[in-house]
Amino acid sequence: MSSGYWNHKICLITGASTGLGLAIAQALAERGARVALNARREQPLQEAVELIRRGGGEATAWVGDVTRQEDVDRLAQEIDARLGPLDLLCNCAGRSARSPILETAPDDFQQLLDVNLLAAVRTTRAFAETLIAQRGHLVNIGSLASKVAPRFMGAYPASKFALAAYCQQLRLELGPRGLHVLLACPGPIAREENAPRYTEQTADVPAEARRPGAGAKLRGIEPDWLAKKILTACEQRRSELVVPAKARLLFALAQLSPRWGDWLLGRSTSA
């Protein structure tokens, strides 16, 4: 447990009913924060809230779809009225994909951009002034695919690269006004079920590419451990968190030489 930094802070986590979003909500609640959990489906969201409450934390459920502007507007109004000024917004809602790039249609790009980028734009705009006034934290959950674009991930890397660009613009424009912006770029998150996924999207994707990380030769990251790393990065007001840290070498090489970056990325994935 860290110090009392998070005690009584009001924190909103989108995509919080399962996975990393839920782990971040639990870690905040354990540290005394008042957490608001947002997701689209009511039943798993209520189950997540009850899990936190049974552990002694303070949590509320806010059903809504952050790809819908009217839902985001309602969320901002109700949280301000019922909980007060927000201290942390964590945009954890998102979706991955698998498909060969030439089979990825413009509509596929639009859908991924909407959930992985534009949802964060909507929530950020809704809460930015409050977060600035609180000298609060904006956490956007990116991916290693915010920095490099592996094979067979369809529109996912493009949507996460765009999120990284948005974070940099926010840091430069709003950082001087007091807003802390953190881009978290984790590798594949460990799941209870590690069987191949995305089988409904295309039969042309290799089996390895359907696994978490699209075949990346990386161990799955435990969400509870990652959640604690993210909170520590917020306390230190860091700009970026890359896990595993060794991936930074690949990112640097890709910037210096796209040819060598492509070669190394090809070797580090098994698809």
Active-site annotation, residues: 156
Q: What would you report as the CA-atom Rg of the chain, rounded to the nearest whole angstrom?
A: 18
Separation between Cα atoms, residue 88 and residue 102, nearest integer Å? 39
For residue 212, whether the previous peptide bond is cis, meaning omega lies within 30 degrees of 0, is no
Separation between Cα atoms, residue 99 and residue 150, nearest integer Å? 11
